[in-house]
Chain A
Amino acid sequence: ETGVTQSPTHLIKTRGQQVTLRCSSQSGHNTVSWYQQALGQGPQFIFQYYREEENGRGNFPPRFSGLQFPNYSSELNVNALELDDSALYLCASSLPGANVLTFGAGSRLTVL
């Protein structure tokens, strides 16, 4: 049984660019959530996808968007990158109806 995998692990972008981060959920998990973790802080909920639709959203602007695919994998897209978008982006998957999340190792984004 594989866990949650994320790619890329590290990337550097410049202000105004766009980025796509990818996540493969753990086998059997159909719900995927994305979190942003700034340095020295706790993760903040961005949004959650269930059955290929956005199921809930945190306090993030529309330039943060996502997709979930039929195999439950997911993408996080961020447009018009800002310096404050520099963070560790964490993907987590969960079983249907379960409250416990299984996290990936994260994608560290640096915006210059």
Chain B
Amino acid sequence: SQQGEEDPQALSIQEGENATMNCSYKTSINNLQWYRQNSGRGLVHLILIRSNEREKHSGRLRVTLDTSKKSSSLLITASRAADTASYFCATGDNNAGNMLTFGGGTRLMVKP
């Protein structure tokens, strides 16, 4: 079963706009990660945020984590057509930080 839900399930925006994806989870975590997947291929790691961190940046990516609400968000700023992909959040718990539980994903389409 999935750890939680991602919202929205699908998102369509114009190039240059910002894209925000949300993730909720159910259990205590050690870390939360975001991965990207192009067209049913392998997943690529984007960013990891630890349970004691609240915000993290990497290039055009900004991730926030609210452990009291068991939720996270991924913001992609100034989106590009090449950002079109599915984005998944994944959580690792304290006993198994790299045995990840994935959400259902957000399918992002960026129109040129």
The chain A residues found within 8 Å of chain B, CB to CB, are: 4, 31, 33, 35, 39, 41-45, 48, 56, 58-59, 88, 90, 92, 94, 98-106, 108
Contacts and interface: CB of A to CB of B under 8 A. Distances in A.
A105 B96 contact: no
Contacts of B102: 35, 42-44
B44 A103 contact: yes
Contacts of B2: 41-42, 44
A104 B42 contact: yes
Contacts of B8: none
Contacts of B45: 100-102
Contacts of A90: 42-43
B48 A99 contact: yes
Interface residues of B, number: 27
Given A59-B1, A99-B97, A43 B88 contact: yes
Given A101-B98, A105-B42, A106-B41, 18 more contacts: A33-B99, A41-B104, A42-B102, A42-B103, A43-B43, A43-B88, A44-B1, A58-B99, A88-B40, A99-B30, A99-B33, A100-B45, A101-B43, A101-B45, A103-B35, A106-B40, A106-B42, A108-B40
B98 A45 contact: no
Nearest to B47: A100
